[in-house]
Amino acid sequence: MLRRRLNRLCGGDERRVDSRTIYVGHRPCPDTEAFIPPKFCDNRIVSSKYTVWNFLPKNLFEQFRRIANFYFLIIFLVQVIVDTPTSPVTSGLPLFFVITVTAIKQGYEDWLRHKADNEVNKYPVTVLEDGRSVKKESEKIKVGDVVEVVEDETFPCDLILLQSSREDGTCFVTTASLDGESNHKTHYTVPDIERDLQVLTAAIECEQPQPDLYKFVGRMHIYKPEQEEAVRSLGPENLLLKGATLKNTKEIYGVAVYTGMETKMALNYQGKSQKRSAVEKSINAFLLVYLCILISKAVVCTTLKYVWQSKEGQDEPWYNEKTQKEKETNMYLKMFTDFLSFMVLFNFIIPVSMYVTVEMQKFLGSFFIKWDNDFFDPEIEEGALVNTSDLNEELGQVEYVFTDKTGTLTQNNMEFIECCIDGFQYRHRDAHGELDGFTVTDGPLNKLQEKAGREKEELFLRALCLCHTVQVKEETLSDQIDGIDGVLPKAEEERGFIASSPDEVALVKGAMEYGFTFLGLENKNMKIRNRQNDIEEYKLLHVLNFDPVRRRMSVIVQTKSGDTLLFCKGADSSIFPRVRPEEVDRIRLQVERNATDGYRTLCVAYKQLSAEEYALADTGLREARLALQDREEKLMAMYNQVETGMSLIGATAVEDRLQEEAAETMEALQGAGMKIWVLTGDKMETAKSTCYACRLFQRGTELLELTVRTLEDGRSKREDRLLELLRDYHRRAVQDAPPVKTGVVTRSWSANQEYGFIIDGATLSLVMNPPRDADASLYRGLFLQICQNCTAVLCCRMAPLQKAQIVKMVKNCKGSPITLSIGDGANDVSMILEAHVGIGIKGKEGRQAVRNSDYAIPKLKHLKKLLLAHGHLYYVRIAHLVQYFFYKNLCFILPQFLYQFFCGYSQQPLYDAAYLTMYNICFTSMPILAYSLLEQHIAIEILLDNATLYREIAKNAMLRWRPFLYWTVLGIFQGLLFFFGVRFLFSNPALQDNGQVFGNWSYGTIVFTVLVFTVTLKLALDTRHWTWINHFVIWGSLAFYVFFSFFWGGIIWPFLKQQRLYFVFANMLSSVSAWLVIIILILLSLLPEILLAVLRKPKGPHSRQKKPGQSNVGGIPSSQSSARPLLMRTFSDESNTVI
């Protein structure tokens, strides 16, 4: 959508060029042949959809693109055009109502957008023009303008930072409004720019706008008089994004490169793809059934009409002659219009109001999640967040839970535990007694001195101090930033650290405890205070950034003495191959032990670069950075080239604690019948221990491993071995296991052998993309079947995309189970988007997961209530809502259909138009809405206590064909009863004690009264949780019906052409027989319901008195697992978030 608009706005010709050239300050550059001011779009942001002029047509068009609205429009048009039984008002009014309400809502939203747009577009900015500062409106900024931004202002467009008021040529920004990360990010000016921007003559070449916030490639040509032109590379660190805020810097100057709709923010402003819930699919299926019922009713009536009319005298009795026009109409045309008329007459069977009610239910219902105090986390002072209300009920249908590990199962709150220098272990905290015979005696300082050589120690600590991208939080800022990572306890030397990854902070703090304090980065100089309290300064030459593929990062620094050093830290698997093998052995043991203990481990290495080596690396890196094409690849190659031949100094272990109640939550989810898959980028050992700690794997769980390691210990080829293992596991887990009954509460799962499955990324890609394509489905099938029979699956060493792949595979497998992904980091976004329900945790790794999720909760433990209580209730509520809606319209329209057999198939409506219109809008809509918002058929506490209750609604249990059939049969039964009950009564229409007779409208009114009372009382019977609101709407609706009927029939309405209902209702009530028939029909209709409710009760879930055995269903595994040795406390090293 936006793209299309973009192309329209910005002309098509520049699309073909893949880079754009910008002249700073619009000054022509000496080099260029001819200065053609390029045309770019202006800086106006248009997020609004409509203007005053196109609102009506465009909005209507969009609304009628919805199938349902379109259907009702067609019905309405048929009513207007063809002579139909009911006036167009009956269907026009509800449609008009729905359309108007939606239009008003959308109009209001658009008005807000207009306002916001205007605020942004009219915002005053300062632009440097011919040496003067000119105040302009933001929308007037053109590409190439030099813009001044002062502290705490947001950038009006995407700027290349030219000059900063800070001496070191940096500035700080927060991108809270873009990706929610509120930490300060450092951006750099382009080097070698003269102070006077007026004389700066430069051209910027950069790529065409693209939405990735973290990517930017460009090049700046700087022309100086009498000098060769200089070329500087531009990267994301030079680009200030529109929407970000300048912090901690007085003012900056930048040149606009992307404006208006081409800014990265605007390009990212796109709605997420719509997820549809399973309930919605059921609704559509039911709709189809009802559409078939509708059409077949119309066909039956039309056919019978013509059969009946063929009998002599029936077609046109003398008392009802046809008009001339009717006589002349073509027979087939007549049949067709008759068909349409019947359609119109019966169209109420598919009610407009259902859509409105369902939508209202979802919208209002989502507030209960937002309001829930149990989701409120005092630490971050936030509750749950609902990004979409369309999926409330899906929360009650989850079968597979895909969870991230770091930050989700674990807290991502890193603590430095120990390190290992040169093979010697240093325990940081006086914590858990002794390990490997090293007792903790004194403070860390003493202990350290006893071990490895002092030089090595200091080198290691320096490495920890230097090799990172941590910023020191400045005192003055502390009150301005509210949302920084809560990593920092306040005390420590009143110094806080800010970093995008908590691991780094933990390491820097760890080094601090050993006496090496990182003081900060100034002017490319890193300052460290060492143990002797001396300040050491290092010149930061290069940062070789972290990325999840390399799984390491490096810095190149220069010491005071002129030595150039490279420090590198990263995951063991990425460091070990790059250091000398003999060093590895000493440390590997420690690393592996730490990993098994569940710590996140990192290895630290260094190398000294000779002058030549550095020069080579320097030019290489610079060139790679300047490259416009394939910069990433070139940089990667260069990094790999530099990071070789290092020597290993040591390793660190950082602890990541389990989230609060992680184990209980997982246990509850498993008890609820959900399969839990842990998808992590972490090492297998770490992840496995987390799984044990979370009780995903129990002591008795038999682990089926499918990893690179198990693949390689066989003699055969990897592929063969893979197949062999798959077959073996399949036999064990699938064929030998008794078939798992789904849906039913089977408690046998606790008795059976449980299986856990472990697979790693490499093996997974082998399974997903085997060398021979033919095997793909075989492998996948085996793999899926194994996984489906395991209680828990652990996938480790996963790339973010692989996570999504797994989710997709499970999502699309047989039975298309409902999947849920939960995660907190950017690496989880892909799986959050892929799963049916995406849950974001408001964790420490920024806000991307939250932004892309459907629901966000502060802690993992909240998932339990979200699914077991909210999800369960919402599912029951909406399922009941849907079934009830279809039911009540079936028994509404069925009598009208039956009446056709008694009125010569003449499309005579049974009910008055007012009743037809109001039935769904007023008389029966509120009770079901209240029910669908407030019902708690089982109390929330009981739902939370008995996770197994969740299984009762698994697999869309309440919206399957059986319950649908039940409701349909009920509707038909009641419809028949209503009609024929009154029909027999009317065999003698003299129903009053004055001998007067009742007419057809009395007939319809009696049926309608029975109908309204029955469907409302049916709902009352189903209501298990009567709050005052339920009482109010249920009795209120009935009272309103009676009141309305009196009122409607009590007055001669001047706008009505026929006063059909005049005093019909009052007369009806004056007849004892009418009363008696109404009472008996209501009771008879509800009789089967009451009987079923009573007979079903003993085994139903409604038995509130908990039997001791039952309430403990969730507790059985817990007693088992608590017997399990406390394996470990906490874990991890998810390398793609490290550093």
Of residues 692 through 731, those in contact with other proteins by CB under 8 A are none
Say how far apart CA 501 and CA 492 lie, in whole Å.
19
How far, in whole angstroms, is CA 1077 from its chain's centroid?
A: 53
Of the candidates 995, 1055, 1108, 1123, which one interacts with other proteins according to CB under 8 A? 995
Residue 827 annotated as binding? yes
Q: Between residues 360 and 1084, which has the closer beta carbon with respect to other proteins?
A: 1084
Query: Which x/- pattern, by CB under 8 A, does the window 825-864 give for other proteins?
Result: -------------------------------x--------
Catalytic site residue from 338, 390, 404, 422: 404
Whole-number Cα distances in Å, 983 to 423, 899, 975, 980, 1015: 95, 9, 12, 5, 20
Q: Residue for token digits 């990706």?
A: 179
Decide whether 39 or 322 has the Cβ nearer to other proteins: 322
Cβ partners under 8 Å of residue 568, min gap 6: 467, 544, 552, 553, 554, 575, 578, 604, 605, 606, 607, 643, 646
**DSSP tag of 738:** P
1024 binds other proteins (CB under 8 A): yes
Q: Is 123 in the site for other proteins (CB under 8 A)?
A: no
Taking CB under 8 A as the criterion, the residue among 243, 254, 383, 800 binding other proteins is 383
- Checking phi first, is residue 838 left (phi over 0); if not, alpha (psi -120 to 50) or beta? beta
Contact with other proteins (CB under 8 A) among 273, 324, 330, 441: 324
- The only residue of 382, 474, 660, 661 in contact with other proteins, by rule CB under 8 A: 382
Selected from 145, 372, 655, 952, the binder of other proteins by CB under 8 A is 372
Given 227, 273, 310, 323, the residue binding other proteins (CB under 8 A): 323
CA separation for the pair 242, 423 (Å, rounded): 49
H or E segment to which residue 21 belongs: strand 19-23
Give the H or E element holding residue 127.
strand 124-129
Widest pairwise Cα distance in the chain: 120
The Cα–Cα gap between 726 and 784 comes to: 10
Tokens read off for 442:
């004194």
In this complex, which beta carbon is closest to other proteins, that of residue 70 or of residue 371? Answer: 371
Q: Which residue shows structure tokens 């609820």?
A: 672
Q: Which is nearer to other proteins, 380 or 440 (CB)?
A: 380
Is 347 a residue that touches other proteins (CB under 8 A)? no
Q: Is 404 a catalytic residue?
A: yes
Q: What would the x/- binding string for other proteins be over residues 970 to 989, using CB under 8 A?
A: -----------x-xxxxxxx
Tell the smallest beta-carbon distance from residue 104 to other proteins (Å). Answer: 16
Is 1112 annotated as a binding-site member?
no
CB of 320 to other proteins, least distance (A): 4
- Paired tokens of 291: 């559409």
DSSP 493: G
450 binds other proteins (CB under 8 A): no
Interior CA angle at 600 toward 597 and 606, to 5°? 125
Among 53, 332, 1028, 1055, binds other proteins (CB under 8 A): 1028
600 marked as part of a ligand binding site: yes
Q: Which 260-299 residues touch other proteins, going by CB under 8 A? A: none
d(CA 902, CA 926): 33
Please check if 682 is assigned to a binding site: yes
The minimum distance between CB 599 and other proteins, in angstroms, equals 33
169 vs 909, beta carbon nearer other proteins: 909
Crossing angle of the two packed helices 331-346 and 278-309, in degrees rounded to 10: 140
Amino acid (one-letter) located at 888:
K
As a whole number of angstroms, the distance between CA 457 and CA 448 comes to: 8
Name which position in 46, 636, 1029, 1128 contacts other proteins (CB under 8 A). Answer: 1029
Q: How far apart (Å, rounded) are the C-alpha atoms in residues 882 and 276?
A: 16
- The binding track of 932-971 with respect to other proteins, each residue x by CB under 8 A or -, is --x-x---x-------------------------------
Nearest-CA neighbor of 954 among 402, 400, 403?
400
Sequence-distant contacts of 636-643: CB under 8 A, at least 24 apart: 636/549, 636/550, 639/544, 639/550, 639/554, 640/550, 641/617, 642/544, 642/554, 642/556, 642/566, 642/617, 643/544, 643/552, 643/554, 643/566, 643/568, 643/578
From 313, 433, 739, 1125, residue interacting with other proteins (rule: CB under 8 A): 313
Paired tokens of 575: 């460091």
Contact segment (CB under 8 A) with other proteins among 227-235, 374-382, 1038-1046, 1111-1119 equals 374-382
Q: Are 833 and 854 in contact (CB under 8 A)?
A: no
Binding mask 874-913 for other proteins (x = CB under 8 A): ----------------------------xxx-xxxx----
Q: In this complex, which beta carbon is closest to other proteins, that of residue 707 or of residue 1067?
A: 1067
State which residue, 620 or 904, has the beta carbon closest to other proteins.
Answer: 904
φ, ψ of residue 800 in degrees (nearest 5)? -50, -40
The pairing of strands 251-258 and 181-188 is unpaired
Q: x/- site string to other proteins, residues 1078 to 1117, per CB under 8 A?
A: --x--xx--x--xx-xxx-xx---x-x-------------
Contact range with other proteins by CB under 8 A, out of 165-173, 316-324, 557-565, 953-961:
316-324
Does residue 515 belong to the site contacting other proteins (CB under 8 A)? no
Q: Which one of residues 21, 106, 337, 1073 is an interface residue with other proteins (CB under 8 A)?
A: 1073
Q: Per CB under 8 A, does 115 bind other proteins?
A: no
- CB contact set of 560 (below 8 Å; sequence gap of 6+): 536, 537, 538
1118 near other proteins (CB under 8 A) = no
Decide if residue 1071 touches other proteins (CB under 8 A).
yes
Q: Judge contact between 975 and 898, C-beta under 8 A.
A: yes
Nearer to other proteins, 528 or 934 (CB): 934
CB of 704 to other proteins, least distance (A): 40
- Interaction of residue 373 with other proteins, rule CB under 8 A: yes
Show the tokens assigned to 212: 């990735």
Least distance to other proteins from the beta carbon of 819, Å?
A: 24
Q: Is 596 annotated as a binding residue?
A: no
885 CB-contact burial (10 Å; exposed 0-12 / middle 13-18 / buried 19+): buried
Q: Are 233 and 625 in contact (CB under 8 A)?
A: yes
- Contact between residue 798 and residue 682 where contact means Cβ atoms under 8 Å apart: no
The tokens 């990265």 sit on which residue? 264
In angstroms, what is the minimal distance from the CB of 899 to other proteins? 8
**Total residues at interface with other proteins (CB under 8 A):** 95
Q: Is 992 in the site for other proteins (CB under 8 A)?
A: yes
Which residue lies nearer to other proteins by CB, 191 or 999? 999
Distance of closest approach, residue 817 Cβ to other proteins, in angstroms:
28
569 is in an annotated binding site: yes
Nearer of residues 35 and 367 to other proteins, judged by Cβ: 367
- Using CB under 8 A as the binding rule, the residues of this chain from 741 to 780 that contact other proteins are none
803 in a labelled binding site: yes
Burial class (CB in 10 A: 0-12, 13-18, 19+), 444: middle
Asked if residue 956 lies in contact with residue 397, where contact means CB atoms within 8 angstroms, the answer is: yes
Q: Are 268 and 211 in contact (CB under 8 A)?
A: yes
27 binds other proteins (CB under 8 A): no
Q: For residue 1064, what are its two tokens?
A: 């019909």
Contact 345, 910 (CB under 8 A): no
Q: How far apart are CA 918 and CA 598, in angstroms?
A: 64
Binding flag, residue 1059, other proteins (CB under 8 A): yes
Residue 212 labeled ligand binder: no
Of 67 and 903, nearer to other proteins (C-beta) is 903
Active site residues: 404
Residue positions forming the annotated binding site for Mg(2+) = 404, 406, 824, 828
Residue positions forming the annotated binding site for ATP = 404-406, 504, 546, 569, 600, 680-682, 797, 803, 827-828
